[in-house]
Amino acid sequence: MVARLSRLLRHIDYKKKFRNKVVKIEPTSVAEKFLVKRPKADDPFPDFVPRPAFLYDEVATWYPPHMHNSILQIKKVFTQIDAVVEVRDCRAPLTTSQYVLTGMVPNVDTLQRIVILNKADLVQPAVARRALSLLEERGIYAILTDASKKKNVIKIREFLFNSCSVKFRTLGLWLMVLGLPNVGKSSVINSLKELAFAQAARGNKGNKLVHEVKRTKSKAGKEPGLTKEVGAFQISSNPRMYCVDTPGIMFPKLGDPEVSLKLAALGCIPDEKAGQGPMYVGDYVLWQLNRRRLFHYVDILELTEPSDDFKHVTTQVSQIMSFKYGSGVPSNIAGAKFFLNLFRQGHFGRFCLDHLPSAGALQEREQLQDELEPPGPWGPCKYPGQIHGLDDRG
């Protein structure tokens, strides 16, 4: 059953009942400033009222031993690199910040840093640009990419060669790629290497752009935690550039259950490790879709109307896809995994899970932080907390 399910998940578009509908879905814009979108004139289900809130369960914790060992190795390499490339998922540009590791960089003031907002094709363009401008307003150089399609990858290379000062010229430029699990670090590395080979093929005969560069690729896949050790790859030979590939490292403790659910929904945490499993994660995704009035899933999954009952949705999926136990009972777990896989591939519409603050909200927040009075009757009720991904090194 597990092997059959994995084959179906890898070849979703070959299922006839889903193929045409899934591929032709158009993205829908998202107004992130509203918690729940109101029905529009062209809303296909204007009478549907989604759940006002989601009942969160326990905080997901996933921190296997190899992550702790990798942190110890990364600390030793920090002093030998010239630049840090942090990869984030554009669908949660603040939540997927690797602020734990970037906060450990000893020479953060002199080290060049670039943030890659990967999978930008899965986010509504206006929201992606807003995420980019938020980082740039904080003095963080960032790029929107889709590493799987090599979009804007050349900008990463140009920034590294134009902005970084090489410590040891005979050794070339050394960069380190950091990020949470399954945000696309390996895809970024592979795209940089493939770009170098493509430039060498189009260049003059006898050029040494990729001289002695191996075609070995960094492990990339849909499951988190594929890379378990710190490794190094040569990206190009002329100019000489090397990359330190690091495993995706999750936070040891996640205090906010919503943060852990966002990471699980994006595939940064295995479904089985997130609270009650795929049913819990899928129910959260369904709630997010309904509150944004993104009803593509109704047509794709051949439902008659939107639903807040995720078990009903997974039962429908299991019946169509023949996900059943030996007794013939539909497998809701298999249906939930199929549902999550469609969501992660962007077939249910484009949107961002993070609420991106406006420029005015950030300015008001900074004014509160600058007040001298302590929280209380004469000052603000409380000082605003840090926004990870904007305020700290991450």
CATH code, 321: 1.10.1580
So what's the pLDDT on residue 379? Answer: 52
195 shares its domain with 128: yes
Identity of the residue numbered 342: L
272 shares its domain with 227: no
Q: Is the pLDDT of residue 170 over 80?
A: no
Q: Is the pLDDT of residue 205 over 70?
A: no
The CATH number covering residue 163 comes to 3.40.50.300
So what's the pLDDT on residue 387? Answer: 67
In sequence order, what are the residues at sequence separation of 6 or more whose Cβ sits closer than 8 angstroms to the Cβ of residue 233? 189, 193, 216, 218, 242, 243, 245
Q: Is the pLDDT of residue 244 over 60?
A: yes
Q: Is the pLDDT of residue 373 over 60?
A: no
The verdict on residue 18 lying in a domain is no
152 shares its domain with 194: yes
The verdict on residue 139 lying in a domain is yes
Question: Which of 345, 365, 388 is where one domain is finished?
Answer: 345
The verdict on residue 179 lying in a domain is yes
Whole-number Å distance between alpha carbons of 349 and 294: 7
In sequence order, what are the residues at sequence separation of 6 or more whose Cβ sits closer than 8 angstroms to the Cβ of residue 2? none
Mean pLDDT score, 26-31? 36
Alpha helices per DSSP H over 24-98: 65-77
Domain of 261 in residue numbering reads as: 257-345
So what's the pLDDT on residue 20? Answer: 44
* Greater model confidence, 27 or 122: 122
229 shares its domain with 93: yes
Percent of the chain surpassing pLDDT 70: 70
233 shares its domain with 291: no
**First-to-last C-alpha distance (Å) of the chain:** 41
The verdict on residue 233 lying in a domain is yes
Residue 219 CB neighbour total at 10 angstroms: 13
- 122-131, 207-216, 261-270, 364-373: segment of lowest average pLDDT: 207-216
So what's the pLDDT on residue 112? Answer: 84
- Rounded mean pLDDT of the chain? 77
141 shares its domain with 161: yes
141-144 and 231-237 beta bridge pairing: unpaired
Instruction: Report the range out of 95-99, 164-168, 217-221 with the highest average pLDDT.
Output: 95-99
184 shares its domain with 317: no
So what's the pLDDT on residue 21? Answer: 45
Whole-number Å distance between alpha carbons of 86 and 117: 9
Whole-number Å distance between alpha carbons of 378 and 380: 7
Question: Which of 309, 330, 345 is where one domain is finished?
Answer: 345
So what's the pLDDT on residue 393? Answer: 52
The verdict on residue 270 lying in a domain is yes
Q: Is the pLDDT of residue 79 over 60?
A: yes
Whole-number Å distance between alpha carbons of 336 and 334: 5
pTM for the whole structure? 0.79
Whole-number Å distance between alpha carbons of 134 and 139: 9
User: What are 217-235's pLDDT values in tens digits?
Assistant: 555 555 565 665 677 777 7
Mean pLDDT score, 131-152? 88
136 shares its domain with 77: yes
Confidence band, pLDDT 50/70/90 cuts, at residue 191? confident
**384-391: which pairs have CB atoms within 8 A and are 24 or more residues apart?**
387/94, 387/357, 388/94, 388/95, 388/97, 388/99, 389/88, 389/93, 389/94, 389/95, 389/96, 389/97, 389/99, 389/135, 390/94, 390/134, 390/135, 390/138, 390/362, 391/138
Confidence band, pLDDT 50/70/90 cuts, at residue 207? very low
The verdict on residue 76 lying in a domain is yes
* Greater model confidence, 315 or 157: 315
Q: Is the pLDDT of residue 310 over 80?
A: yes
Cis-peptide, bond into residue 239, ω within 30° of zero? yes
198 shares its domain with 307: no
234 shares its domain with 261: no
Q: Is the pLDDT of residue 341 over 70?
A: yes
**According to the 3-state scheme, what is the secondary structure of 157-181?**
HHHHHHHCCCCCCCCCEEEEEEECC
Alpha helices per DSSP H over the chain: 2-10, 16-23, 65-77, 99-102, 125-137, 153-163, 185-202, 257-265, 278-291, 296-300, 310-321, 332-344, 359-370
HSE toward the beta carbon, residue 36, CA cutoff 13 A: 12
Mean pLDDT score, 285-297? 94
The verdict on residue 56 lying in a domain is no
82 shares its domain with 228: yes
Q: Is the pLDDT of residue 278 over 80?
A: yes
176 shares its domain with 83: yes
The verdict on residue 352 lying in a domain is no
In sequence order, what are the residues at sequence separation of 6 or more whose Cβ sits closer than 8 angstroms to the Cβ of residue 348? 25, 289, 294, 296, 297, 300, 342
Number of domains in the chain: 2
* Greater model confidence, 339 or 174: 339
Question: Which of 345, 361, 381 is where one domain is finished?
Answer: 345
